[in-house]
Every structure is written in C-alpha cells, then in structure tokens.
Amino acid sequence: MDYTTLGATGLRVGVAGFGCGGNSRIGLGAGLSRAESVALGREAVDLGVNFFDTAESYGTEEIVGDLAHEVGRDALVIATKSGLRRGQELLSAAEVVANLDASLRRLRTDVIDVYQLHAVRPGDYDRVMAELVPALLREKEAGKFRHLGITETAPRDPVHETLLRAVEDDCWEVMMLAFHMLNQNARPSLFPAIERRGVGTLLMFVVRNIFSQPGLLSATMADLAAEGRVPAELGASDDPLGFLVHEGGASSVIDAAYRFARHEPGADIVLFGTGSSAHLKSNVASILKPPLPAEDVERLYELFGALEGVGLDLPDRVRNAVQ
C-alpha cells in the first residue's frame, strides 16, 4: 500500500480507501452476511487498506465496528457521516449530535477519526454553518471525533457549489467530492482551493455504474454525441474509451478510471467499493499502479474536461427508493 497524509489532519492513510456504501456496502449488497463482510474487510486490511468510510445511512457501521474490534482500533482510520434530513426537514443540531452518539455506539469506539455531514445541498449550507457546525465543534472539543468533514451531493450539485463555499471556511478539514474520467470539473475550480487550504480529499464516484454496468458507457456517449458534447465518433463506438487499453496503458476501462483519479493532483484517497475478494484485490492493484501514460491523460482532459453532470448516478437502492 502507498500511504499519504490526509490534508492537514496528520492522519496517515492508505491511498486506497474502502467505501462502505454505494451498491456493494462491504458485500451486504451482494448478499454477504455480517460475518462475511467483516472477513472481506479483514482481507482489505491485510492488503494495507486502513481507511474505511461509512455512514449511518449505509447500514455498515456495525461491520466496521466489528472489524475494528477484530484487528485493533488503531489499525483503522474510521470516517462516518450524519445525514441532514428526515424527509424534507433539516435535522436540528441536537438530532445530529444524537446521530454522532449513535454512530459511536455502532462503531464500538470512543472516538471517530473523521465525522462528516453527509450530502450537504447548496441551499442548506448557511443553516449548516449557523446551527450544526457550532454544535459539532463542541462535540469535537469533548473528544468524540478528531476531524470535521463535509460531503457534497454530486447528483444534485454537479458543479461543486457546496464545496466551493465550504473550502473558504476553516472548520472543514476533509471533503468528499465526485471525480472521475467523465466528471473532471473539480480540476480547475475546486482542487486548487483545496490544496491551498490544506484540506484532505476523499474521491467518490471514481467507478460507478457508467464504467461498470455493461452498455451504459456507450449509451451515455451516444447521448452526449447527439447533444454535441463529445465527438461524433465516440457516440458511434461500442468501446468509446478503448483507446485507454493498450500495452503500456490501462488493462481495462475500470483500471484506467482508478489510475486517472489516483494520480490527479489534489487527490488523497480514492474510495472503492466491493463485495468480493477478487474485486477487492483488482481495485487495490489498480489504485497502486503508476499513472496512465501522459498522452492518454491529456486526451481525457481534452475530450471530457468540459462535461458536467455525467455519471453521477445515485446508488441503486437509493434511486429505487425515491422513484
């Protein structure tokens, strides 16, 4: 494993972080039992993975807690999150603090390394700063968590409006943002400010349905070509990113996706999700590979650097729940 320091937090973390939500949910999404999911997490630890990102809404905090109990709390850097809403109503500060306390119980720990406010919408940011952040900073001083983070809601905020505001406020030490080969708009706008402020970054959506679901990439590219947003030849291709797979380049589109994100300046941790041992090993192996050839990266920048809102699908269980 390659390790880095997460922004200015001082936390030493592997560059490959286990994302415990999404469709896989440490294997729960694939039908694994709680014990089997813990075993999968142990395999990740054996590969050098030490950062685990969960949330109250994922239903995986207990698994991370069991894993920490098994391997030793100091072996893991644990991040979790509180949601902000119950239905259409924003939670009160007291309710968010209650969520923090519940997460501590489920994780079986006295302190959380990174506590994040989850999927903060641009329209909620002022109230978050006025009501929730002061209450959470008091809990931080009480020793319940070490570092405060914020995550964007990429499907509802594809231009990073929330984080572009948040990066100017000193309270946020870690930010989770969406970044992938067809969603690069954090490069000119957000990453420079993040690096200037010393904020740690967690990259999500690096590989989601658009790269892993058969046929979705070519269908999406056809739609983008019809709208004039990518060259017509990409829209007509059954393998529009095939140029990345060659000797000396990527072994697959998913391999390319992980390597592209991992070596973007400003990236600290690339989050991956999985429900299988083989997938776990291949994901980590890709994240640890060298950068893609410079000419391939430049072509990705040129072709897709101007795209917005592409490949930012919600996890299947969330999307199905709101339909």
DSSP class per residue in 212-272: HSTTHHHHHHHHHHHTTSS-HHHHT-SSTTGGGBSTTSBSSHHHHHHHHHHTSTT--EEEE
What is the distance between the alpha carbons of residues 257 and 287, in angstroms, rounded to a whole number? 9
DSSP class per residue in 63-124: HHHHHHHHH-GGG-EEEEEE--EETTEEPPHHHHHHHHHHHHHHHT-S-EEEEEEEEE-GGG
Q: Are 204 and 154 in contact (CB under 8 A)?
A: yes
What is the distance between the alpha carbons of residues 32 and 39, in angstroms, rounded to a whole number? 10
What is the distance between the alpha carbons of residues 51 and 56, in angstroms, rounded to a whole number? 17
Q: Is 58 a catalytic residue?
A: yes
3, 58, 115, 258: which is the annotated catalytic residue? 58
**∠ Cα 234 311 225 (to 5°):** 25
DSSP class per residue in 133-172: HHHHHHHHHTTSEEEEEEEE-GGG-TT-HHHHHHTTSTT-
β-strand pairing of 269-272 with 200-204: parallel
**Catalytic machinery residues:** 58
